[in-house]
Amino acid sequence: MLFPQNTPTRSLVSLDGTWDFCIDPGRDEPTLDGASADLPGAEKMAVPASYNDLSQDAAVRDHIGWAWYQRWVTPSRLWAGQRLVLHFGSVAHHARVFIDGAEVARHKGGFLPFQVDISEFVDVAAPFRLAVAVDNRLDWSCLPCGEIKEPKGPQYPDGYRQQVIHFDFFNYAGIHRSVHVQVLPPVHVVAAQVDAQVDEQGRGQLAWVASLSDQAGLRVECCDAEGRIVASGSGIQGSCTLDEVHLWQPGAGYCYTLWLIAEDADGNELDRYPVRTGFRRIEVSKEQFLINGTPFYFRGFGKHEDSTLSGRAHNPVTLIKDLKLLGWINANSFRTSHYPYAEEVLDLCDELGIVVIDESPAVGLWDHSAPVFDCGKVGDDTLAHHNDVMSDLIARDRHHPCVVMWSVANEPASWEEGARPYFEAVVAHTRELDATRPLCCVVNTSAQGDRIQDLFDVTCLNRYPAWYSDPGRLETIEPGLLHDLREVHERFGKPIIITEYGADTVAGLHNDPVTMFSEEFQVEYLKACHRAFDALPFVIGEHVWNFADFMTKQGITRIIGNRKGVFTRDRQPKASAHYLRQRWQEASRP
């Protein structure tokens, strides 16, 4: 699957904007005829956006089950004789797509794209009704995982149910990324796998595998950032060598463009599609993560795709602000916690030289009240879906030089015996897909309790001393972390990134002496953690949790969301942001 783009041979029609929307009252299956009839009592809904925060009705915000989106599309006569592909950037979490009442596609998973060829369903001389049924329910076969429970008791109405989730972010739903109709020539490039590596002699090694919609030749041109052709080749599978290559570097993103050009037997151009990539070399040792032979220290954050009003939807305004704030605070990296972000995010990180740990949506694979791997809740269906997601994620993102590592999961129940064979299978599958990048799995277990970290190349740990344990006891942070991290490194022998650490902080709340939830406490908390990190040469990164405050489900520990951000949800800095800016500006490590 290729990202939708306008090219000399392709055109792109955006379907973003205002759609009709309504909640479906059905419990398990839709009961409204939203596929072929007008939606009853429809309200207007923005696309892309989470529907939850755009209504004044709590029943919409907290809805469990199906909802309908619908709009009319007027084709152009210029579409005649072309292939029409309907592309969704993401729909959370299950989607059924209809054209004039006919179902044309189904998709499971809320964070990766899907598309369908609709050429046979569209009469270019007449408008057509496009409808999407969206289901936000999560079960143990989904990523993220969840479960529907139906509690009984006098306080619960008949048929009452709850969506139980084991992750700490709001379960936003809807059409979260752009919708497009791609107008393609009859013979076109369907998919491409592009790998750009640097060999031991410093030469660029470029390889590609492509597929076409019909029989044709394929010519390949590699252009540098100035548009000069620096290498070429032919065939749906091939490779070429660049004797001199401009490296992609952290903080200095340099990209090449590989043009895939389909041709007929006479050399006439049928289709032209660009894939942008970059050359850099990744290596991992016992105490280092090296990019292009230079040790790299991760400075940055775990983030969320989360903003006021838009919810989890891709929002270019928020994206640009976030990237500018990353530059202001002197960060060099982030993790796409806890799911793949929009492709537009990675495109800009390629350009800007921002390093990314690309994470799958495998979060919630635990339950505080019962085993999940050992009792079969997380089983064969989950594993099959997990492997499918890794396949789709790597197919989408492998050409991005900013992506330096795949994260296969966040905080699974890695202490359970059943976690071992599950992640052995995920790791084997992922390494077969891409042997060029290291793998990690973010865990919150102790050195002795974890059963899976030896499977990975880098140890990624979430740690909250003096917060969830010994709350408020800042004096316990440094000695506790020193002991903990030394023990982990001694057992697994891998470099360590602290992928989460932090403290909830209410902006504007001050207290002296410092107490929890105050801005002063957050600063002192981070300082204590950093004293431990700086004393340990095998710690190769610090990702503060979180970049910005974000929405969660309601709970007694959440004051309208998680407040661990160093920026507020509307992207204003807390005191900790100024502290981090100075620390990272003066950083002695690369």
**588 pLDDT higher than 70:** no
**What span, in angstroms and rounded, lies between the C-alpha atoms of 77 and 124?**
6
> How much of the chain exceeds pLDDT 70, in percent?
99
Beta 496-500 vs 539-545: how paired, if at all?
Answer: parallel
**572 pLDDT higher than 90:** yes
> How much of the chain exceeds pLDDT 90, in percent?
98
Residue pair 580/325 in contact by the 8 Å Cβ criterion = no
Which whole number is the average pLDDT over 447-461? 97
Which whole number is the average pLDDT over 277-286? 97
Name the band, by pLDDT with cuts 50, 70 and 90, for residue 343. very high
Which whole number is the average pLDDT over 514-525? 98
Nearest CA to 399 out of 190, 194, 113 is that of: 194
∠ CA 208-387-108, rounded to 5°: 100
Q: What is the pLDDT of residue 586?
A: 87
Q: What is the pLDDT of residue 368?
A: 85
Picking from 254, 277, 300, the residue at the C-terminal end of a domain is 277
**582 pLDDT higher than 80:** yes
Counted domains in the chain: 3
Q: What is the CATH number of the domain that holds 553?
A: 3.20.20.80
Same domain, 90 and 235: no
What tokens does 341 get?
Answer: 């972000």
Q: What is the pLDDT of residue 112?
A: 98
In a domain, 488, yes or no: yes
**What span, in angstroms and rounded, lies between the C-alpha atoms of 174 and 16?**
13
Report the DSSP beta bridge partners of residue 220: 233, 260
Q: What is the CATH number of the domain that holds 119?
A: 2.60.120.260
Read off φ and ψ for residue 558, nearest 5 degrees.
-125, 115
Q: What is the 3-state secondary structure (H, E, C) of 178-219?
A: CEEEEEECCCCEEEEEEEEEECCCCCEEEEEEEEECCCCEEE
In a domain, 301, yes or no: no
309-318, 365-374, 469-478: least confident range = 365-374
Beta 66-73 vs 128-135: how paired, if at all?
Answer: antiparallel
Q: What is the pLDDT of residue 431?
A: 98
Same domain, 264 and 351: no
Same domain, 226 and 207: yes
Q: What is the CA radius of gyration of the chain?
A: 24
Q: What is the pLDDT of residue 587?
A: 77
Same domain, 394 and 526: yes
**What span, in angstroms and rounded, lies between the C-alpha atoms of 409 and 341?**
15
Which whole number is the average pLDDT over 520-528? 98
Domain that holds residue 357: 322-585
Same domain, 402 and 386: yes
SS3 255: coil
**What span, in angstroms and rounded, lies between the C-alpha atoms of 243 and 204?**
6
pLDDT tens per residue, range 42-88: 999 999 999 999 999 999 999 999 999 999 999 999 999 999 999 99
**pTM for the model:** 0.97
- Tokens 């992922």 belong to 430
Round the average pLDDT of the chain to a whole number and report it: 97
In a domain, 313, yes or no: no
Same domain, 237 and 370: no
Same domain, 132 and 237: no
Report the DSSP beta bridge partners of residue 134: 67, 95
- Tokens 């579409």 belong to 79
In a domain, 16, yes or no: yes
Q: What is the pLDDT of residue 272?
A: 97
Same domain, 111 and 201: no
Q: What is the pLDDT of residue 476?
A: 98
SS3 245: coil
Name the band, by pLDDT with cuts 50, 70 and 90, for residue 369. confident
Q: 543 CB contacts (<8 Å, ≥6 apart)?
A: 298, 300, 301, 302, 333, 334, 335, 497, 498, 499, 500
Q: What is the pLDDT of residue 590?
A: 55
pLDDT tens per residue, range 216-246: 999 999 999 999 999 999 999 999 999 999 9
In a domain, 160, yes or no: no
Same domain, 256 and 369: no
User: What does the CA dihedral 370, 145, 397, 284 come to, rounded to 10 degrees?
Assistant: -10
Name the band, by pLDDT with cuts 50, 70 and 90, for residue 450. very high
In a domain, 292, yes or no: no
Which whole number is the average pLDDT over 89-102? 98
Write out the H or E segment, with its range, that includes residue 528.
helix 519-534
What tokens does 375 get?
Answer: 């009792």
Same domain, 412 and 265: no
Report the DSSP beta bridge partners of residue 70: 20, 131
Amino acid at 220: V
Amino acid at 6: N
Report in angstroms the alpha-carbon separations of 395 from 5, 110, 177, 570.
Answer: 17, 16, 18, 33
Same domain, 440 and 546: yes
Picking from 216, 247, 277, the residue at the C-terminal end of a domain is 277
177-186, 362-371, 566-575: least confident range = 362-371
Q: What is the CATH number of the domain that holds 212?
A: 2.60.40.10
In a domain, 282, yes or no: no
Nearest CA to 48 out of 346, 310, 309, 339 is that of: 310
What tokens does 74 get?
Answer: 């007027």
In a domain, 24, yes or no: yes
Which whole number is the average pLDDT over 408-426? 97
Same domain, 475 and 444: yes
- Tokens 């329910």 belong to 137
**40 pLDDT higher than 70:** yes
Picking from 246, 277, 308, the residue at the C-terminal end of a domain is 277
Which residues does the annotation mark as catalytic? 411, 500
E strands of 345-495, at which residues?
A: 355-359, 403-410, 439-443, 459-462
